[in-house]
Structure 1
Amino acid sequence: MFKFIYQVASILPGLFHISNTLSFPAPNGPYNTSLTITAIKDKHRLDPFAPTQQPRVLMISIFTPVHPSSCNASLSAYMEPTTAAFEDARLEAYGLPSGIFESLSLQTCQHDSLDLPDFPIILFSPAAGTTRLFYSAMAQQIASAGYIAVTIDHPYDGDIVVFPDNTTVFGLDFTDDQIPLAVDTRAKDISFVLNQLARPGIMGTLNIDCGANVSKSGVFGHSLGGAASAEAMLFNSRLVGGVNLDGTFFGDVVEKGLHRSFLIFAHDGKNLTNDPSWEALWPRLTSWKRELMLAQSAHYTFSDLPDVVDILGLGGLLPSEAEEMLGSINGSRAFEVVTTYVQSFFDMVLKGKDSELFGGPVEEYPEVSFGGY
């Protein structure tokens, strides 16, 4: 995913200075959000990718809605220091200013204890080789609409996962033959996280007063995370709606299909005709379904990265190699479109709200076109 960074570095060294106080804009939903980060261990499952036999352990970020009147405003680091330094090093070595990811923050609320009403749960799985932290702003925006949004790191699959004791797991180079196992493992990770969120004891350790209601939850993911989202839905009926952001499907779901609501959101030029897995699954999606495409987008448009480019003041300054990864669409606009459609889908599925966005193209978002058949 970082080829574009290397190309940019050779063109833009010293072009701008990184401030120590760069922050993503506050989310614009009716709620503010708190952020809780923790590790959770699955004592009943061995990690299939670990070099020794050991339980599967995950890192998660939980974005929780907070009423504005209860918000004690604060800034939370966009990335913890080890991950930020790891990602920054890939930039510094090629001439970009130091401290890019170490300088970024999210506007959040501090909390001593939270009592959650029936906010629906939405789980998120990132692209292969990509930290969950590159999707934190997206998750926060969705949480501000009244959801508990939880992003999941899948160890040995993401490029780096850092645990609270500073244990660090770096990503493996998976072969094509290992991809189905990776998707199956991610799907089990998703179900495990959902189970843990329902346990008051687990939530109590996070200063949350009760277990969450997981009986009607949603899941979405980017790239391989989109495939894992569909696979998780196949085996977990509590996941009543899912979104695949630009990912090829793998696993049993391609043959067995789904009987619950599903949205596919593609980068410019990707559709049922050029991804065989999409073509195979589409007729087996027997409930509500839509296939959307975002004009001027590319694969990593469906992450925080285009918005980071805008925050850094690099919009329109990147070379063509960057567009191959991030697209040519304005970063903040891409962020708005993607989060709006994802949120509207879950508003429909989890809250029963109607949305004109899925009836066909709308004037407000001309970048979005409809496919499928």
Structure 2
Amino acid sequence: MDPISATFEDEEYAPVGVPAGTFGSLNLQTCKPCPASNPSRRVKGSKYPLVLFSPGLGNSRLLYSAMAQQLSSTGYIVVTIDHTYDAGIVTFPDNTTTLAANITTDTQIVEDLNIRVKDVSFVLDQLIRSSVISTLIPGRTCGIDTSKVGIYGHSFGGATAAEAMLFDPRLIGGINLDGTFFGSVIDRGLNKPFMIMAHEGKNLTTDATWAALWPKLKGFRRGFMLGGSTHGTFTDLGEAADLIGLRERFPREVAAFLGSIEGERALRVIGAYTSRFFDFVLKGKKSELLDRSSMEFPEVTVGEH
């Protein structure tokens, strides 16, 4: 994280035992970009399909970087979105910041959802511009193919994914990671591929919006439940807690907030199912993992969730 965002998140999570300086001390290991001066190594054309990610209400996209990396490592360009005035803090390249508005009522949440949907389309519009791409992906000399795009999100980001798919035809498949649905998609449904992954105990009987939307998903649909997980499991925070020793110091509290499943394992499982889904939607590759229980991932239950 940039220093300003890291300090902000340190203060946000200080009440649960996160020491000052924690978020600034964590680094995401990445491959070095290909030098733009070496034409033979430039990323060409549309080799990798595009997937967008939308975070939970109030969350920074930076709390999902490791999760996004899990998917990108399987052959995707993953672009995470900060929804300004929704995320707790957005720090811009010139170090100016914007804090979240007070979004609490149902009316405000639906208004926010509509703005998020416009954010998604705006980002897609920008990603065809070579000037934008050369800044985001050094060495790439052309825009990204935005004609067939995947989208996924956590919590309110999952609701954003479903709603955005209604209004932008470029979005052809989506995933909701443990989010309650909002907006017109609940009544209108979707005829595009869609996947839901829930924390342990969440299903069609515990979330009325899931029960309402599930029969209206007319395209390819799949539902999974991740054992040992909570709502917070579907972020990078589980792995961060393990790395700084928070799970060892406060095992009961961390398990209640982030699940009993270890953070690295959770990211690996979530990454596997998201990548196999998008492999099918964007690459045409079928996977048995989406159709039945797996010995490789015994934590996951397959069914109508």
Task: Give the match for residue 134 of structure 2.
Answer: 204
Question: In structure 2, do the counterparts of structure 1 residues 93 and 277 end up closer, same or farther at CA, with 3 Å as the change threshold?
Answer: closer
Secondary structure of 2:278's match?
A: helix
Question: In structure 2, do the counterparts of structure 1 residues 94 and 256 end up closer, same or farther at CA, with 3 Å as the change threshold?
Answer: closer
Q: Which moved more, 1:247-256 or 1:312-321?
A: 312-321
Task: Give the match for residue 233 of structure 1.
Answer: 165
Task: Give the match for residue 273 of structure 2.
Answer: 341
Secondary structure of 1:265's match?
A: strand
For the pair 1:181 / 2:111, whether they are aligned, the reply is: yes
For residues 90 and 157 of structure 1, what CA distance do their matches in structure 2 show?
A: 15
Deviation at 1:194, TM superposition (A): 1.1
Q: Which structure 2 residues correspond to residues 273-292 of structure 1 after superposition, within 5 A?
A: 273-292=205-224
Task: Give the match for residue 88 of structure 1.
Answer: 10
For the pair 1:131 / 2:60, whether they are aligned, the reply is: yes
Once the two structures are superposed, residues 50-97 of structure 1 have per-residue CA deviations (whole angstroms, 9 ceiling, x without a partner) of xxxxxxxxxxxxxxxxxxxxxxxxxxxxx0110001112345577643
- TM-score normalised by structure 2 residue count: 0.92
Question: In structure 2, do the counterparts of structure 1 residues 356 and 189 end up closer, same or farther at CA, with 3 Å as the change threshold?
Answer: same
For residues 313 and 204 of structure 1, what CA distance do their matches in structure 2 show?
A: 38
For residues 66 and 100 of structure 2, what CA distance do their matches in structure 1 show?
A: 23
Is contact 1:180–1:251 with CA below 8 Å preserved after alignment? yes
For residues 247 and 301 of structure 2, what CA distance do their matches in structure 1 show?
A: 24
Once the two structures are superposed, residues 253-289 of structure 1 have per-residue CA deviations (whole angstroms, 9 ceiling, x without a partner) of 1111111100000000001111111111111100110
For residues 113 and 14 of structure 2, what CA distance do their matches in structure 1 show?
A: 33
Deviation at 1:151, TM superposition (A): 0.3
Question: In structure 2, do the counterparts of structure 1 residues 215 and 321 end up closer, same or farther at CA, with 3 Å as the change threshold?
Answer: same
Secondary structure of 1:105's match?
A: coil
* Structure (1 or 2) with the greater helix fraction: 2
Is contact 2:153–2:177 with CA below 8 Å preserved after alignment? yes
Q: Which amino acid aligns with 2:88?
A: D
Q: How many residues align?
A: 295
Q: Could you say what the CA RMSD is over the residues aligned between the two structures, in angstroms? A: 1.7
Task: Give the match for residue 146 of structure 1.
Answer: 75
Deviation at 1:244, TM superposition (A): 0.2
Q: Which amino acid aligns with 2:132?
A: I
Once the two structures are superposed, residues 330-361 of structure 1 have per-residue CA deviations (whole angstroms, 9 ceiling, x without a partner) of 11111111111111111111111111111121
Q: Which structure 2 residues correspond to residues 31-110 of structure 1 after superposition, within 5 A?
A: 79-91=1-13, 96-108=18-30, 109-110=32-33
For the pair 1:117 / 2:45, whether they are aligned, the reply is: yes
Secondary structure of 1:107's match?
A: coil
Q: Which moved more, 1:260-269 or 1:321-330?
A: 321-330
Deviation at 1:104, TM superposition (A): 0.8
Question: In structure 2, do the counterparts of structure 1 residues 92 and 314 end up closer, same or farther at CA, with 3 Å as the change threshold?
Answer: closer
Q: Which amino acid aligns with 1:195?
A: D
Deviation at 1:163, TM superposition (A): 0.8
Q: Which amino acid aligns with 1:226?
A: G
Is contact 1:216–1:350 with CA below 8 Å preserved after alignment? yes
For residues 260 and 266 of structure 1, what CA distance do their matches in structure 2 show?
A: 20
Deviation at 1:227, TM superposition (A): 0.2
Deviation at 1:183, TM superposition (A): 1.0
Q: Which structure 2 residues correspond to residues 289-328 of structure 1 after superposition, within 5 A?
A: 289-328=221-260
For the pair 1:255 / 2:170, whether they are aligned, the reply is: no
For residues 232 and 70 of structure 2, what CA distance do their matches in structure 1 show?
A: 18
Q: Which amino acid aligns with 2:202?
A: K
For residues 274 and 85 of structure 1, what CA distance do their matches in structure 2 show?
A: 36
Deviation at 1:115, TM superposition (A): 2.9
Give unmatched runs, 5+ long, in structure 1: 1-78
Q: Which moved more, 1:226-235 or 1:202-211?
A: 202-211
Secondary structure of 1:346's match?
A: helix
* Structure (1 or 2) with the greater strand fraction: 1
Task: Give the match for residue 39 of structure 2.
Answer: none
Task: Give the match for residue 363 of structure 1.
Answer: 295
% identical equivalent positions: 52
For residues 8 and 267 of structure 2, what CA distance do their matches in structure 1 show?
A: 24
